[in-house]
């Protein structure tokens, strides 16, 4: 993460960020900074295009596919990037997972 005060809480193993108490898979830490920058720029562009298409009443499929492709490339979707066989807990409430004790020890809204 970039170190800003608004960065989401990250699990100790770096696999997830926590947003409103839910776990969301973090990007693959093996990606280089340049690649992360490229993929993030594409993701933001695709999200803007999706929003513009929705507002205009146009189909969003192409932009939605671009968002999905960028998130897969970042490691946030698709096969997990870790190799120890642990399951993907994306969308689970942190308090109901093996991260519960860790999560309880942090301030969160």
Confidence (pTM): 0.85
What does the pLDDT look like over 18-43, one tens digit per residue? 999 999 999 999 999 999 999 999 99
- C-alpha gyration radius of the chain: 16
What does the pLDDT look like over 81-93, one tens digit per residue? 999 999 999 999 9
| For the chain, domain boundaries | 1-31+84-109, 32-74
On the question of pLDDT at 99 being above 90, the answer is yes
pLDDT of residue 109: 63
Cα dihedral across residues 47, 49, 54, 58: positive or negative: negative
CA distance linking residue 56 with residue 51, whole number of Å: 9
What does the pLDDT look like over 61-70, one tens digit per residue? 999 999 999 9
């Amino acid at each position: 993460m970039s170190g800003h005060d608004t960065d989401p809480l990250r699990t100790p193993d770096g696999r997830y960020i926590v947003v409103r108490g839910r776990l969301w898979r973090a990007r693959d830490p093996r990606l280089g900074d340049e690649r992360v920058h490229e993929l993030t720029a594409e993701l933001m562009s695709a999200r803007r295009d999706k929003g513009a298409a929705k507002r205009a009443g146009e189909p969003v499929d192409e932009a939605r596919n671009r968002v999905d492709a960028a998130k897969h490339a970042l490691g946030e979707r698709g096969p997990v990037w870790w190799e120890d066989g642990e399951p993907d807990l994306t969308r689970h409430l942190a308090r109901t997972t093996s991260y519960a004790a860790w999560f309880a020890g942090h301030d969160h809204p």
